Structure 1
Amino acid sequence: MNKATYRAAALSLVAALSLTATACGASDDSDDNPLTGSSGDKGSGKTIVVGSANFPENQLLAEIYAQALEDKGLKVTRKFDIGAREVYYDQVVKGGISVFPEYNGALLSVAVDKKSTATSTEEINTELKAKLPKSVEILDSAAAEDKDSVTVTSEIAKKYKLKTLADLKPVAKDLAIGAGSEFKTRTQGGVGLKSVYGVEFGKFQPLDAGAQSTLLKLLKDNKVQAANLYTTDPAIVEDKLVVLEDPKNLFSSQNITPLVYKSAVNDKAKAALNAISAKLTTEDLLEMMKKISNDKEDSSDVAEEWLTSAGLAS
């Protein structure tokens, strides 16, 4: 083996050992030190670990939780950008994370009971309280939620007198809807629109998942007259779009709801988190996400501003 080959092999070995050490460290953080990720506080409950998933809205919510808890004099460790529910849920159940901003409908149908047919906030939370593992619980749900919707421009809403999904029934045959290709065959989509509201659009314009910018352009250019948007999309506020009301709960509730590891969260922490839920609205979330997505403001600043305006920070 020449020197160059030997040196390359040595570097590869060092890198592999480094990765192994990092992986072990990550495991220790969530398993060996369930409450805090540090051996000095293990099991003491002195530090509350606030986690988040790997997308901006959830990170913002986690930052709001963290700052509110700190304002009450509680020690907080942030563990953000963890990944999908398949990754973080078990960490909360095992105590590696103390507090997590969840979406109650998805928590129930994805992690707790995939066969559940609950759709309303009350139904979903009743099932969660009955079916969650004993180590965790949900606190109060906020009015704020991020869910599927059928959204139209203000011009289309005015022209066809649209306020709810039911109002689409007599006119949908003359309209086109744009959505991800899977929307057409989902119960919480085209199938449900027909069975629950009797709504059948004259044309369905499929798009790849995540093509929100294209969908918005089609909607604003009147190439489609309705679109399947998430209710916290900043464009809803920016472009004054109209989210059609869903009185029959075709789209299941997705209220922002704290999921907590019971033994790591005291009454003071619970009160602080419930106070957030009592104030947080979908409109608040929309405005905050506009500041982050469009105005490029830092999420910690946006969180602090909202907490102050809501009277939840001193």
Structure 2
Amino acid sequence: MTTAFFTTPRRKSLATTLALTCLALTSCVSGPSEQSAEYTATPTSATIRIGTGITPETRHAAYLYAAALEQAGYSVEVTETGATREELFGSMGIDTTSLATADPSATEPAEGRIHLTPDLSGDLLLYLTDDGKISPTELEESRESARSTPSESPTSASPQPTDTSVGPTPSASPSPTAPPLNIRGLSGSDIISYVQKSLPETVEMLDSSAATNRYGYAITSATAQKYGIRNMGDLGEHCKELAFTVQSTFTSNPAGAASLDTYYGCTPGKTIENDDRSSRTWQLITAQAQVAYLYSTNSDIKRNNLTLLDDPQGTQLAQNIIPLTRAGEIPKEAQNIVNRVSAQLDTPSLERLETLTTGENPISETDAANFWLESVKE
């Protein structure tokens, strides 16, 4: 899907219209006043393809990157990347288990690939480390070892190709040199650092945003009053009486069912698997379930006056938006533009984008992105 962006007069008209909408909703998006510079660059002739990622939050970020790059004169295309990280990395032509090094000759976006995709740091870390079973330090050591090991074919002078699927493959059962990852209580900066260690060299991580998202357990005020639940610590004694609506990965995710049982003594009386977050909210407000596992920036929480329970044991990972690129293929000027967007994207902005693009009168992702960019320039 190729996006269509507006000229400056059109964006100003849009900003005026949306400002009225914003007054009705609550407060408008704002950004740091010192970062009000226009997005300018010397564009490459090649089209930069941006993937939407696999969540609504990453989709918002993708359209922000696209709008900012388009304003700077780049040719940009926003493309669906599928519903899983396997599909996400597949669309980029990246094998996350490969030890291949980045192609030093890559200077422009490759044809037929996604070149830039935002993702969520916490879930990405779990994916890269097999739900925390593999230490990021171990992954980093394996790649450093591969870089320092001479090629078995010293007569070959050809650089390694950018398609990492032909690179050397690590052992299916590597000998561990570091303990598994303990995810509980990790700070956002720790998570981002571990992601950097865990990513293959063929992927470059740009600056993360300050916008933080977390999974959490949402309940209605009626359920809170009936059972006297104020935070997750109160779930244990009532858990057998409650039905939880969760995504299908809840039981395998160490931040999900396992931590709920280990740190809060809670094993749900009933678990309903549902990968549609709006449907999970509907099940909650219609009393088909008493607890819903939702992202904290989900606009359904405020829209339906739900309570997201505090997590005193720190079991839920911080989820910062991080842009991932194919190493060497995004011009430095374009990277700087994406980094500038990340520097301005905070949690309230993410919540506002979610509100603007959902509900009874949603606007398009493109309109919301252009409105946000105009707002942070003011």
Cα shift readout 1:249-292 (whole Å, capped 9, x = no counterpart):
42333221111234233443333322322332344333322332
Mean CA deviation greater in 52-61 or 132-141: 52-61
Q: Find the residue that maps to 2:284 and give its secondary structure.
A: helix
Work out whether residues 45 and 263 of structure 1, in 8 Å CA contact, stay in contact via their aligned partners in 2.
no
Which amino acid counterpart does residue 298 of structure 1 have in structure 2?
S
Which amino acid counterpart does residue 66 of structure 1 have in structure 2?
A
Q: Match of 2:120?
A: 103
Tell me the distance in 1 between the aligned counterparts of 2:249 and 2:202: 35
Q: Match of 1:299?
A: 365
Q: Match of 1:64?
A: 64
Q: Find the residue that maps to 1:178 and give its secondary structure.
A: strand
Alignment of 1:60-209 (within 5 A): 60-71=60-71, 73-83=72-82, 84-90=84-90, 91=92, 93=94, 96-110=113-127, 112-114=128-130, 115-116=133-134, 117=181, 119=183, 120=186, 121-157=188-224, 164-169=231-236, 172=239, 175-180=242-247, 183=250, 187-201=254-268, 203-204=269-270, 206-209=271-274
User: Taking structure 1 as reference, are residues 248 and 48 closer, same or farther at Cα in structure 2, changes over 3 Å only?
Assistant: farther
Work out whether residues 205 and 323 of structure 2, in 8 Å CA contact, stay in contact via their aligned partners in 1.
yes
User: Taking structure 1 as reference, are residues 55 and 122 closer, same or farther at Cα in structure 2, changes over 3 Å only?
Assistant: closer
TM-score by length of 2: 0.59
Tell me the distance in 2 between the aligned counterparts of 1:181 and 1:257: 24
Cα shift readout 1:121-146 (whole Å, capped 9, x = no counterpart):
23322222223222322122223345
Q: Match of 2:52?
A: 52
Cα shift readout 1:62-93 (whole Å, capped 9, x = no counterpart):
1111112233x241321411324323314264
Tell me the distance in 2 between the aligned counterparts of 1:123 and 1:306: 29
Q: Match of 2:143?
A: none
Deviation of the 1:207 alpha carbon: 2.2
Mean CA deviation greater in 206-215 or 136-145: 206-215
Q: Find the residue that maps to 2:200 and give its secondary structure.
A: coil
Tell me the distance in 1 between the aligned counterparts of 2:233 and 2:355: 29
Work out whether residues 99 and 259 of structure 1, in 8 Å CA contact, stay in contact via their aligned partners in 2.
yes
Residue 219 (str. 1) matches residue 284 (str. 2): yes
Pick the structure with more helix per residue.
1
Q: Find the residue that maps to 2:341 and give its secondary structure.
A: helix
Q: Match of 2:376?
A: 310
Aligned length: 265
Tell me the distance in 2 between the aligned counterparts of 1:87 and 1:182: 16
User: Taking structure 1 as reference, are residues 92 and 249 closer, same or farther at Cα in structure 2, changes over 3 Å only?
Assistant: farther
User: Taking structure 1 as reference, are residues 161 and 296 closer, same or farther at Cα in structure 2, changes over 3 Å only?
Assistant: same
Q: Find the residue that maps to 2:250 and give its secondary structure.
A: helix
Tell me the distance in 2 between the aligned counterparts of 1:69 and 1:181: 36
Which of 343, 346, 356 in structure 2 is aligned with 1:278?
A: 343
Q: Can you give the 5+ residue segments of structure 2 that lack an aligned partner in the other structure?
A: 1-43, 95-102, 104-109, 135-180
Tell me the distance in 1 between the aligned counterparts of 2:45 and 2:85: 24
Q: Percent identity?
A: 28
Tell me the distance in 2 between the aligned counterparts of 1:79 and 1:218: 32
Question: Per chain length, whose mean CA-contact separation is higher, i.e. which structure has more relative contact order (CA < 8 Å, sep 6+)?
Answer: 2
Work out whether residues 45 and 75 of structure 2, in 8 Å CA contact, stay in contact via their aligned partners in 1.
no
